[in-house]
């Protein structure tokens, strides 16, 4: 990170991630506000790609956009080889990129149902 760059607030980071996902035609982009529920992150951004190829493209858009425009890299990425559920941990924001069947199976929005949710991005239905 460049010292002259301002640090992004978690809500700004979540919005940027959602915008990059929408640029790759992600579906059903949802931002869950977890600040009052858990202590290890502020937001989940959850979205769906139609295929594993699209989930990788969504990941790539988020990764490269956050790196080049915001000088921010995820602390870790999991699930990229199989690409059914890609998790990107930006600490204050955790990104979940699913294929449709995997999202339906894990149902994170229902698991965290008490969290305020906002549908975001042009790729939302």
Output the pTM of the full model. Answer: 0.91
| Bridge pairing between strands 43-48 and 93-98 | parallel
Query: Is pLDDT of 125 > 70?
Result: no
What is residue 31's predicted lDDT score, i.e. its pLDDT? 97
Residues with Cβ within 8 Å of 76's Cβ and at least 6 positions away in sequence, in order, are: 87, 88, 89
- Sorted by where each starts, the structural domains of the chain and their CATH numbers stand as 12-43+56-112 (3.30.460.10)
pLDDT tens for each residue of 85-99? 999 999 999 999 999
- 71-79, long-range: CB within 8 Å, 24+ apart, which pairs? 71/1, 71/2, 71/5, 72/1, 72/8, 72/13
Check residue 7 and give its pLDDT: 80
Structure token digits, residue 48: 């769906």
Here the tokens at position 106 are: 């894990």
Model confidence pLDDT, tens digit, residues 32-70: 999 999 999 999 999 999 999 999 999 999 999 999 999
Question: Within a 10 A sphere around the Cβ of 53, how many other Cβ atoms?
Answer: 11
Q: Is the pLDDT score of 1 beyond 70? A: no
Mean per-residue pLDDT for 19-27?
Answer: 97
pLDDT at 124: 43
The residue-averaged pLDDT of 102-125 equals 85
């Amino acid at each position: 990170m460049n010292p002259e760059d301002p640090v992004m607030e978690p809500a700004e980071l979540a919005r940027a991630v959602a915008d990059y996902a929408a640029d790759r035609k992600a579906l059903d982009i949802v931002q869950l506000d977890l600040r009052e529920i858990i202590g290890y992150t502020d937001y989940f951004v959850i979205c769906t790609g139609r295929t594993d190829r699209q989930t990788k493209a969504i990941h790539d858009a988020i990764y490269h956009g956050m790196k080049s425009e915001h000088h921010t890299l995820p602390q870790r990425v999991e699930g990229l080889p199989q690409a059914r559920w890609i998790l990107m941990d930006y600490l204050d924001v955790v990104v979940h990129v699913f294929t449709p069947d995997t999202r339906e199976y894990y149902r994170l929005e229902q698991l965290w149902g008490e969290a305020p949710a906002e549908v975001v991005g042009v790729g939302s239905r």
